[in-house]
Amino acid sequence: MIRYILRRILLLVPVLVGLSVLVFCIARLLPGDPVRLAAGPNATAADIASVAKEFGLDRPFVVQYWDYATGLLRGDWGVSIFTRRPVAEDLAVYLPATLELVLAAMILAVGLGIPAGLLAAVYRNRWPDFLSRTVSLGAISMPRFFLGLVFQLAFAMWLGWLPLSGRFPLTEDPPPTITGFLTIDALASGNLHAFGVALQYLALPAIAMSLSPLATIMRMMRASTIEVLGQDYVTTERALGLPGRQILFKYVLKNAVSATLTVIGLYFGWLLGGTVLVETVFDWPGIGLYATQAVLSQDFMPIIGVTLCIGALFITVNLIVDLLYGLLNPRVRLG
């Protein structure tokens, strides 16, 4: 198992290096002149040259990438041209909000999708199966930002059950920052009121983001469970007189979930990269909103930082999925 883990980790090194080269090249080839924008509309040629020299943009492209890559190894993600703040500090502020939102959405998707898919497979072509099909088709067919707008109208504007937007009310003091996750920080500080408020603000965007992966996980789990239920060993266990519940939860569930793990890992990465519209609709202060502001101002250092951060998280999640594959299916470790 240790050799399998080390082999998977070593394979990540060329992926990360290639990602950094690709993202750096694309960000620098984008149309527009961020230096001229940062210098201001009335800047002279000397002012523009001074800004370019300050951020090292007057040096050859290869030298710029080398300086950036060596800086990454030291924890230096560059400096924003417009805010003059280190990108690493901005990511430390915005990333926890996005991770909290994505994790909440995936907890809802996995926690509801796996049992619903299992139930749909057990009661195949009966009302639980038809209900799951209807829900999954409806959830996949509607974009996340549209669902967010519908939820805002229904639950915030009409019913008044949940807040319209934001992450925490401006009139209240948030819990002290420990992890950057408001729900965890509220629990860690023993502030149950702040925990409840944070959950209220988290509910609508998390539900809006969870419906698409929930539908996919549900359908994938249904198909995997039906396939496993048709295996010979399941027929043998039934012939031996084992209880149906034991067969389902001890043998079928484990093998069916292993196929669904890939979808879960992929959706985690897709949600990280697809939070822009949801964060914009709900005014959620995450890296999606941060990246949008950077794109509009042609500030390429934050763009590179956000892309590398999402890529590294995506790779890490898929590494965890590969390791879980190895735990659930020992034959994978031998490959």
Judged by phi (left if over 0) then psi (alpha if -120 to 50, else beta), residue 22 lies in alpha
User: Whole domain around residue 259: which residue ranges?
Assistant: 108-160+209-330
Per-residue pLDDT tens digits for 308-320: 888 888 888 877 8
- Predicted structure pTM score: 0.82
**Residue appearing with tokens 């799951």:** 132
What pLDDT, on the 0 to 100 scale, is given for residue 41? Answer: 63
Helix (H) or strand (E) holding 43: none
d(CA 77, CA 91): 9
What pLDDT, on the 0 to 100 scale, is given for residue 1? Answer: 61
Q: By the 8 A CB rule, do 5 and 327 touch?
A: no
**Quick one: 37 and 153 in the same domain?**
no
Per-residue pLDDT tens digits for 174-183: 888 888 899 9
Total structural domains within the chain: 2
d(CA 206, CA 182): 14
Q: Three-class SS string for 218-243?
A: HHHHHHHHHHHHCCHHHHHHHHCCCC
What pLDDT, on the 0 to 100 scale, is given for residue 195? Answer: 93
**Quick one: 247 and 306 in the same domain?**
yes
Residue type, 11: L
Supply 231's token pair: 């295996």
- All residue ranges of the chain with pLDDT < 50 are 334
Give first-to-last CA distance, the chain, whole Å: 12
What pLDDT, on the 0 to 100 scale, is given for residue 329? Answer: 61
What pLDDT, on the 0 to 100 scale, is given for residue 43? Answer: 65
Q: By the 8 A CB rule, do 268 and 311 touch?
A: no
**Quick one: 152 and 271 in the same domain?**
yes
276 domain residue, yes or no: yes
**Quick one: 222 and 288 in the same domain?**
yes
d(CA 206, CA 271): 11
What pLDDT, on the 0 to 100 scale, is given for residue 332? Answer: 53
195 domain residue, yes or no: no
What pLDDT, on the 0 to 100 scale, is given for residue 184? Answer: 92
**Quick one: 136 and 225 in the same domain?**
yes
280 domain residue, yes or no: yes
Nearest Cα to Cα of residue 141 among 46, 191, 215: 215
CATH code for the domain of 153: 1.10.3720.10
Inter-axis angle of helices 300-328 and 87-122, nearest 10: 40
d(CA 5, CA 86): 33
CA dihedral defined by 220, 226, 232, 234, rounded to 10 degrees? 100
